[in-house]
A and B are shown apart, each in its own frame.
Chain A
């Protein structure tokens, strides 16, 4: 992979932000709780954003409707977990996981399948036409949101954490919710898997090359359009997974959650640089931390703080922290 001069500055932003907040928050136990919460939220957002940024980097397609997969994943989880209430009511962790893992898998499968249809019918006809893409994918999201309302009803549904996953561990005075640690673990797992696939497999190589020069990859004999469909489906599935995790984090799901998270996702990939998974991770962690810190310090300006973050980063690096070549 990339050798010598690794650009460490963006990576330093994360601990920098965390440390900056110490004096403002005061108590170290609160700081720990908030930081873990921020990292957990950031990881969940990363899972959702990673697919979107790859899709854009590879095929220059911006899916404004990415949020629909988030909501879909979350709602599917409510159905699956709802059907497995004996497993979720138990306070033994492994029993809970027996319910949660299938919920995640089913959510990913459904989101991926819908992603396949979305790519075929909404995105493919407008390759290369950015304006139409923006409009049409927005339309796709509206349709998706409404269809969710048809299936699950327009009201919000509770998605309570299974018994065994509730509660906190204590680090001195600081309460760290168990679920948040799990979210960080899952997020890290996704990141490491993505990094491994991108760095060590031929398909990953094709994706990285395709992000830089699509035409040349085709000239080398690879049908990059098929690859793109695959990346889109995986991205949608990841968004579905993120939706499950987000739903459990908030313990409630609404049909509008996709649109709400959409804004955060866009901020993340703008900050990270369109096409870069590493950038998406940093952007997501920053956004997650920022949301939690400001949620504690000054709740009214939470969304603004993220916009301020985006503006700040863009002033420093107008293409995001890790811009991907070309275009």
Chain B
């Protein structure tokens, strides 16, 4: 078992005429929480979408558990036990919360077939999901939708959880719930890759950090190292975390 669950080597991505990723090298260690930081427009979301196959890498390689998933189709990538929560959350507004969760539970044909124990655990982390179980997901508030999005991603155990800006628009109290959830997930052996702009959130959670700028990874190391070094923080992110 290699130390890295997911590895990107020299990945370039073009969207139309725009060259967004210029050779991204990223290693996501197994069982740890990796934070992907960087300014707006640095290419963080593009990196996630390239991993998921929503955008195709024009050059380079994406390796997951020793398998080359660079040119794989999105559904197949997802079936390697990778869960993805996009920036816009991807909630199906016209479907109920229950239906959203059922969709994500690939092994269940009906709601009753979902793992009850796991659901209880999810409800304890995100009470709103239980409260609005039979309501259309579109009626939830922004923060509640975010919780539903993450709840959906963990309704079945996955090896890798990729989340784009989990704390966006969340009240501080909910952020604590989110941090708790991720910590618990880590304990179950899930690897996490999170994109974040909220640096205090990042500091509390991350084991490993990679910083992006202009479409490449300009720094990678442990979160401890970054938070101890204020000069480094200023240089990479322009402010202290």
Q: State the A residues within 8 Å of B (CB).
A: 1-3, 202, 205-206, 208-209, 212-213, 215-224, 324-325
Known: A205-B99, A209-B95, A222-B75; 5 extra A-B contacts, CB below 8 A, are A2-B136, A202-B102, A205-B102, A208-B94, A216-B92
- Tell whether A209 pairs with B74 under 8 Å between CB atoms, given A2-B136, A219-B52: no
- Tell whether A209 pairs with B103 under 8 Å between CB atoms, given A2-B94, A219-B74, A224-B75: yes
B235 adjacent to chain A (CB < 8 Å): no
Instruction: Report B-chain residues with C-beta under 8 Å of the C-beta of A213.
Output: 90, 92
Chain A minimum-CB-distance residue to B79: A221
Q: How does the 8 Å CB contact mask read for B96-116 relative to A, with 1 for contact and 0 for none?
A: 100100111010011000000
Instruction: Report B-chain residues with C-beta under 8 Å of the C-beta of A3.
Output: 96, 134-136
A221 pairs with B75, CB closer than 8 A: yes
Looking at the assembled complex, report how far the CB atom of B71 sits from the nearest CB atom of chain A, in whole angstroms: 15
Q: What is the CA–CA distance of A218 and B106 in the complex, to the nearest angstrom?
A: 12
B73 adjacent to chain A (CB < 8 Å): yes
Size bin of chain B's contact surface: 20 to 34
B86 adjacent to chain A (CB < 8 Å): yes
Q: What is the CA–CA distance of A219 and B103 in the complex, to the nearest angstrom?
A: 11
Q: What is the CA–CA distance of A205 and B96 in the complex, to the nearest angstrom?
A: 11
* Partner pick for B78 among A1, A220, A325, CB 8 A cutoff: A220
25 contacts between A and B (CB under 8 A): A3-B96, A3-B135, A205-B99, A205-B103, A208-B92, A208-B94, A208-B95, A209-B103, A212-B94, A213-B90, A213-B92, A215-B90, A216-B90, A216-B92, A218-B74, A219-B78, A219-B84, A219-B86, A220-B103, A221-B75, A221-B78, A221-B79, A221-B106, A222-B75, A325-B93
Q: What is the CA–CA distance of A215 and B135 in the complex, to the nearest angstrom?
A: 23
Instruction: Report B-chain residues with C-beta under 8 Å of the C-beta of A215.
Output: 54, 74, 90
B54 pairs with A212, CB closer than 8 A: no
Instruction: Report A-chain residues with C-beta under 8 Å of the C-beta of B92.
Output: 208-209, 212-213, 216
Looking at the assembled complex, report how far the CB atom of A272 sits from the nearest CB atom of chain B, in whole angstroms: 16
B106 pairs with A219, CB closer than 8 A: no
| Majority DSSP secondary structure for residues of B touching A | loop
Instruction: Report A-chain residues with C-beta under 8 Å of the C-beta of B136.
Output: 2-3
> Which of B74, B104, B106 has the most chain A CB within a 10 Å cutoff?
B74
Looking at the assembled complex, report how far the CB atom of B83 sits from the nearest CB atom of chain A, in whole angstroms: 8
Instruction: Report B-chain residues with C-beta under 8 Å of the C-beta of A208.
Output: 92, 94-95
Chain B minimum-CB-distance residue to A324: B94
Instruction: Report B-chain residues with C-beta under 8 Å of the C-beta of A216.
Output: 86, 90, 92
Looking at the assembled complex, report how far the CB atom of B159 sits from the nearest CB atom of chain A, in whole angstroms: 13
Instruction: Report A-chain residues with C-beta under 8 Å of the C-beta of B102.
Output: 202, 205
- Tell whether A325 pairs with B103 under 8 Å between CB atoms, given A3-B136, A218-B74, A219-B86: no
> Which of A209, A213, A218, A219 has the most chain B CB within a 10 Å cutoff?
A219
Instruction: Report A-chain residues with C-beta under 8 Å of the C-beta of B52.
Output: 219
Instruction: Report B-chain residues with C-beta under 8 Å of the C-beta of A223.
Output: 73, 75-76
Q: What is the CA–CA distance of A153 and B23 in the complex, to the nearest angstrom?
A: 63
Q: How does the 8 Å CB contact mask read for B123-163 relative to A, with 1 for contact and 0 for none?
A: 00000000000111000000000000000000000000000
Q: What is the CA–CA distance of A208 and B96 in the complex, to the nearest angstrom?
A: 11
A218 pairs with B95, CB closer than 8 A: no
Top 6 A-B pairs, shortest CB-CB distance:
A221-B78, A216-B90, A218-B74, A223-B75, A221-B79, A209-B92
Chain B minimum-CB-distance residue to A218: B74
Instruction: Report B-chain residues with C-beta under 8 Å of the C-beta of A325.
Output: 93-94
* Partner pick for B103 among A1, A2, A217, A324, CB 8 A cutoff: A217
Q: What is the CA–CA distance of A3 and B90 in the complex, to the nearest angstrom?
A: 21
Looking at the assembled complex, report how far the CB atom of B160 sits from the nearest CB atom of chain A, in whole angstroms: 13
- Tell whether A219 pairs with B73 under 8 Å between CB atoms, given A202-B102, A209-B95: no
Q: How does the 8 Å CB contact mask read for B38-80 relative to A, with 1 for contact and 0 for none?
A: 0000000000000010100000000000000000011110110
Chain A minimum-CB-distance residue to B138: A325
- Tell whether A219 pairs with B95 under 8 Å between CB atoms, given A3-B134, A205-B103: no
Instruction: Report A-chain residues with C-beta under 8 Å of the C-beta of B73.
Output: 218, 223
A202 pairs with B109, CB closer than 8 A: yes
B78 pairs with A218, CB closer than 8 A: yes
A220 pairs with B104, CB closer than 8 A: yes
Looking at the assembled complex, report how far the CB atom of A320 sits from the nearest CB atom of chain B, in whole angstroms: 15
Q: What is the CA–CA distance of A148 and B51 in the complex, to the nearest angstrom?
A: 48
Chain A minimum-CB-distance residue to B80: A221
Looking at the assembled complex, report how far the CB atom of B195 sits from the nearest CB atom of chain A, in whole angstroms: 15
Instruction: Report A-chain residues with C-beta under 8 Å of the C-beta of B94.
Output: 2, 208, 212, 324-325
Looking at the assembled complex, report how far the CB atom of A326 sits from the nearest CB atom of chain B, in whole angstroms: 9
A220 pairs with B95, CB closer than 8 A: no
